[in-house]
Amino acid sequence: MAVVFEKTKALTDVKLHYCPGCAHGIVHRLVAECLEEMDEVKNAIACVPVGCAVFANNYFNFDAIQCAHGRAPATATGIKRVHPDKMVLTYQGDGDLASIGTCEIVHAAARGEKVTTIFINNGIYGMTGGQMAPTTLPGMKATTAKAGRDPKINGNPLRVSEMLATLTGPAYIERVSVSTPAQVTQAKKAIKKALEIQKQGLGFTFVEVVSTCPTNWGLTPVKAMEFVRDKMIPYYPLGVFKDITAEEGK
């Protein structure tokens, strides 16, 4: 008898406060598994957001700091410049990163800060009860867009990975999802690659995860995963948007 899957030691035993089936938990595990496999758990510092993931520091079995809303990339910049040998990451939602923190993420990416950002795009402000985010899809309902987002009034959703990929500073940008086991495997590969590029000091690394908020979407966890595949991914296509290691190999 051999154990082929068990909980990573890079997560604590604290019970996650997330709603049933919320994909935040899956991504927490992937980040932790990658750091464990790279033997970087003792060397990692996570900059956690304001949003549902505000207590991520209780779950990560490595150092973490709760940052002001949207400012995790600025906090990470300071930490990494003082401690260049640490693995520094930010973990941010779409309200945090693509709304109040747009300035910080764009300029950290433009400066090529040697940190890794994990961007949880669930198309909504989860923690505060389902307000429209910059990433809410056209037609998608939110408490602040009762009839669904109307691009004529509310503008069109931001595709952050594509936007950041136009900059020179980023070394690696990939968008993944976790709506199937195969996608989870790919998401882990992307996070591992981003962390490895950080370790090599090559530049800013960014992994966007098309995620879920079953509670505020008003869907069961299983239906929320279907919504990701049917509605989110067509607007937010998965794939690599920048990889300087691949460009070098050409």
Partner 1 sequence: MAKGKVTINEVICKGCGLCVSVCPKKVLDLSTTKINAAGYNPAEMVSDDCIACTSCAKMCPDCAITVEKLD
Ligand X SMILES: Cc1ncc(C[n+]2csc(CCOP(=O)(O)OP(=O)(O)O)c2C)c(N)n1
Interacting residues with ligand SF4 (CB under 6 A)? 18-19, 22, 24, 52, 122, 126-127, 213-216
199/165 Cα distance (integer angstroms)? 20
Show the 3-state SS of 168-228: CCEEEEEEEECCCHHHHHHHHHHHHHHHHHHHCCCCEEEEEEECCCHHHHCCCHHHHHHHH
Alpha carbon of 101 to those of 27, 73, 145: distances in Å? 21, 8, 21
6/131 Cα distance (integer angstroms)? 36
Q: Determine, following the binding rule CB under 8 A, whether residue 234 of this chain makes contact with partner 1.
A: no
201/32 Cα distance (integer angstroms)? 20
**Least distance CB 9 / ligand X (angstroms):** 25
Please identify which residue in 83, 222, 230, 239 interacts with partner 1, judged by CB under 8 A. 222
Q: Which of residues 89-148 bind Mg ion (CB under 5 A)?
A: 93-94, 122, 126
Nearer to partner 1, 134 or 214 (CB): 214
Nearer to partner 1, 140 or 187 (CB): 187
Q: Determine, following the binding rule CB under 8 A, whether residue 216 of this chain makes contact with partner 1.
A: no
Q: Determine, following the binding rule CB under 6 A, whether residue 73 of this chain makes contact with ligand X.
A: no
The residues, any chain, with a CB within 8 Å of residue 132's CB and separated by 6 or more, are 124, 125, 142, 143, 144, 145, 149, 154
Question: What is the enclosing helix (H) or strand (E) of 121?
Answer: strand 116-121
Q: Which does 11 bind (CB under 5 to 8 A by kind): ligand SF4, Mg ion, partner 1, none?
A: partner 1
Alpha carbon of 15 to those of 12, 20, 125, 184: distances in Å? 8, 12, 22, 21
**Least distance CB 124 / ligand X (angstroms):** 6
Q: Determine, following the binding rule CB under 6 A, whether residue 120 of this chain makes contact with ligand X.
A: yes
Q: Which of residues 64-93 bind Mg ion (CB under 5 A)?
A: 93
208/123 Cα distance (integer angstroms)? 12
Q: Which does 206 bind (CB under 5 to 8 A by kind): Mg ion, ligand X, ligand SF4, none?
A: none
Site of interaction with Mg ion (CB under 5 A) = 93-94, 122, 126
Site of interaction with partner 1 (CB under 8 A) = 1-8, 11, 15-16, 18-26, 29, 178, 180-181, 184-185, 214, 220-222, 225
Site of interaction with ligand X (CB under 6 A) = 49-53, 69, 93-96, 100, 120, 122, 124-128, 133, 213
